[in-house]
Structure 1
Amino acid sequence: MKTQEQIVINLNEIINNTIEGILILQEGFIKNINQPLLEILGYETKDELIDKLATGVLIPTSVEKYIKYNEKLFQEISLITKDGTTIPVIIKIKDIFYEDKEYKIIFILDLRELKEKEKMVIYHSRLSAMGEMISMIAHQWRQPLSTISSMLTRIKLRNNTNKIDKDFLNNSLSDINKHIQYMSTTIDDFRNFFTTDSKKELVSLNEIVAIVFNMIEKSFSSLNIKIEIENKNLQKKHLPKNELIQAILNILNNAKDAFIERGISNPLIKIYFEENNQTQKIFIEDNAKGIDEKIISKIFNPYFSTKNKKNGSGLGLYICKNILEKDNLGEVFVENKNLGAVFTIIIN
């Protein structure tokens, strides 16, 4: 029969060879810590932390955040290392009793690698959309370039016939400048979309939708897809503008693909809003005949696609959900309604 000392030694060997960090607390004080967590925190020995308050290394968020990992719900917090660096982690807490004393055992999983992979998936999704974006830029620029060319031809014709006057020239140059400014704004919208900087900006949801509309208007209208946007001003919030642009673009492009694949006549997308003291909502409704009820619960899963292999990566709607749910920004839902699907984006 194994002695108590042997059991303790074997237990320490087990917890020191897990991929998870393990912390054992009693009344908020650290009583044990495994080697993987020591390495994450940058400490050399347990003695530096034993009998210290756990708040010296665990930083709860101001608002409780939970994420799903391997189909289980975990709380997301931060660790603070010996050198003051903060690390995103998920934790699971269990109450245990040993020798008539109550302890808390905290299982900790480092999220840094997962977060980096998440960023790369979103960035590569943007890059994969670059070809489509270039096509959209071409649609946005075709009309102003044609107008500028026409104006320059008229200026040249009048100049050759000595019929040019100052007012005509000034008005023409002013109009040309307006079209050039429009093109400059358009390219800025696309350039900003591809930046990896996801800093938050004070912006309203209807302003974000307007940016998206300006990016896709010509491309969608060339396919006879009509977009109706409710004229409603919403309160400005500090939001990750570029990431929300990507989320809305993904939903709209999904609708566009459904229109094309199903040969929908008079394709229509309606975008409307709701706002209260707690949340803001965007509704994106199409008339593309909806989503099969057998798969509607799966469309936000990674690599799930109803499109053929050539046109579908299965990441668009997954990334949309990921963007909304990370950092407790909000949620996204879909349901069939009337003649199509309605995507609802909720911003907390």
Structure 2
Amino acid sequence: MEDKNNIFINLNEVINNTIEGILIIEEGFIKNINHSLLEILGYEKKDELIDKLATGILIPTSKEKFIKYNEKLFQEISLITKDGNIIPVIIKIKNLNYQNKDYKMVFILDLSELKEKEKMVIHQSKLSAMGEMISMIAHQWRQPLSTISSMLTRIKLKNDMNKLDKIFLDNMLSDMNKYIQYMSTTIDDFRNFFTIDSKKELLCLNEIVLSASKMLEKTFLSQKIKIEITNKELTKINLPKNELIQVVLNILNNAKDAFLEKNISNSIIKISFEEERNQQKIFIEDNAGGISENIISKIFNPYFSTKTKKNGSGLGLYICKNILEKDNLGDIEVSNIENGTIFIITINKN
């Protein structure tokens, strides 16, 4: 009996001095737990959990879910605290054998603070683009406002000449209402984009691209940049709409900056889609001259920027990759093609 307990006594010094929470489990029952995990769970003494079922504090997902952290994949689950709160964590399980008995050592890392910081970094990235977004709204609204102003002038002129008839007035008011509704929809699109929480919705990748391209439409037209979308029927999947719009917007804006910086004429961005059994892909191709082979492998690194005439934060593409890799949503890659660059966004369908 003494030897049997030695494994736990000898490990106490090790497990109680780690940042991670650690559980030792035998046949589903908790045999030891370190101080870090007790603090995370809100318990004061080990005795409150020893010999209890591990499923009392570990909540597995309905299907195996993995997250990329420090270039390694970890399983993501949840913990339930003494107060009933749910905490997101990643775990790594090691098998342990002692005196012909099998144990499992579970390493647990609390993701609460990390996820909150990650959410704020993504939100700050959105806010840093707000000036450009306001410019986009101005482009979206300029033509409708001009048209409405012209309609009001025509109504006033007819009224001054006593030639204002009901049919003409009804038509003018109906058209003005359509423009106002368009402007209202536009502002809603931008307002929704800036919300912090991005819940998953059942939709198509085509809708993501269409939403992003509509936001940029007027700006790109004013700078003679064409967006050509080759549509393809895709299966609807659960997607974080706002975050994926942010990814597409970032790539499109980077292409725009490259066109302007290099004075490219006949600027074209081509977008197409592909669906495989377990994945969907977005291809975003431009003719902006490509990225130097010396730096193309670094463009997803934090604080790395290729922009010379503008102050680039170097966080845009890094955040895009972060958005896609968290929760194993997908991935992004880039390569040079003839006269330009192609970004491939891969989305997992699981």
TM over 0.5: yes
Change (3 A) 1:213 1:112: same
Partner of 2:103: helix, strand, or coil?
Answer: strand
Instruction: Provide the C-alpha distance between the structure 2 equivalents of 1:69 and 1:273, rounded to a whole number of angstroms.
Output: 28
| Distance of 1:95 and 1:6 partners within structure 2 | 17
Residue identity matched to 1:292: S
Paired-residue identity, %: 76
Number of the residue aligned with 1:192: 192
Change (3 A) 1:23 1:274: same
2:94 counterpart of 1:94: yes
| Greater relative contact order, per chain length (Cα 8 Å cut-off, separation 6+) | 2
Residue 135 of structure 1 deviates from its aligned partner by 0.4
Q: Secondary structure at the match of 1:292?
A: coil
Q: Once the two structures are superposed, what CA deviation does each residue of 1:98-128 show, in whole Å capped at 9, x if it has no partner?
A: 3454322222111111000000001111111
Question: How far does residue 219 in structure 1 lie from its aligned partner after superposition?
Answer: 0.6
**Structure 1 range deviating more: 32-41 or 315-324:** 315-324
Counting only pairs closer than 5 Å after superposition, residues 141-156 of structure 1 correspond to structure 2 as: 141-156=141-156
**1 CA distance for matches of 2:67 and 2:76?**
7
Q: Give, in angstroms, the shift of residue 281 of structure 1.
A: 1.9
Inter-partner Cα distance in structure 1 for 2:207 and 2:71: 36
The one-letter code of the counterpart of 2:257 is D
2:343 partner SS: strand
Report SS of the residue matched to 2:163: coil
2-side partners of 1:6 and 1:52: how far apart?
20
- Whole-angstrom distance in 1 between the partners of 2:258 and 2:135: 19
When structure 1 is superposed on structure 2, of 135-144 and 96-105 the one drifting more is 96-105
Letter in 2 for 1:28: G
Please state how far the C-alpha of 1:290 moved relative to its aligned partner. 1.8
Rounded Cα–Cα distance in structure 1 between residues aligned with 2:231 and 2:7: 69
Kept in 1: contact 2:306–2:312 (CA 8 A): yes
- Inter-partner Cα distance in structure 1 for 2:8 and 2:151: 87
Pairwise CA distance, 1:143: 0.9
Q: Secondary structure in 2 aligned to 1:125? A: helix
- Please show how residues 181-260 of structure 1 align to structure 2 within 5 Å: 181-260=181-260
| Cα offset, 1:310, TM superposition | 4.8
Query: Could you list the runs of 5+ residues in structure 2 that have no partner in the other structure?
Result: none
Counterpart of 1:79?
A: 79
Q: SS state of the match for residue 214, structure 2? A: helix
Aligned to 1:59: 59
Matches for 1:1-348 after TM superposition, within 5 Å:
11-308=11-308, 310-347=310-347, 348=349
In structure 2, C-alpha distance between the alignment counterparts of 1:340 and 1:262, rounded to whole Å? 12
Structure 2 residue matching 1:114: 3-state secondary structure: helix
Distance in 1, Cα, partners of 2:187 & 2:133: 10
The 3-state SS of whatever aligns with 1:212 is helix
* Cα pair distance change 1:328/1:7, threshold 3 Å: closer
Task: Determine helix, strand or coil for the equivalent of 2:334.
Answer: strand
**Per-residue deviation, 1:321:** 1.7
Structure 2 counterpart SS, 1:285: strand
1:249 maps to a residue whose letter is: L
In structure 1, what residue type is equivalent to 2:272?
Answer: Y
Q: 1:5 to 1:214 in 2, by over 3 A?
A: closer
Q: Deviation of residue 20 (structure 1)?
A: 1.0
Q: TM-score, normalized by length of structure 1?
A: 0.91
TM-score, normalised with respect to structure 2: 0.91
Counterpart contact for 2:324–2:332, Cα < 8 Å: yes
Tell me the distance in 1 between the aligned counterparts of 2:280 and 2:116. 29
Partner Cα distance (2:292, 2:28) in 1? 51
**Residues of 1 paired with 2:187 and 2:81: CA distance?**
42
Deviations 1:63-89 (A, max 9, x none): 333333334332222222223322111
Render the CA deviation track for 1:18-41: whole Å, top value 9, x for unaligned.
211111122332211101101111
Provide structure 1 residue ranges, at least 5 long, that are not aligned to the other structure: none
Q: Deviations over 1:27-65 (max 9, x none)?
A: 332211101101111222212222223222222323333
Return the offset for 1:7: 10
CA distance in 2, matches of 1:309, 1:265: 18
Query: What is the rounded CA distance, in whole Å, between the counterparts of 1:166 and 1:11 in structure 2?
Result: 89
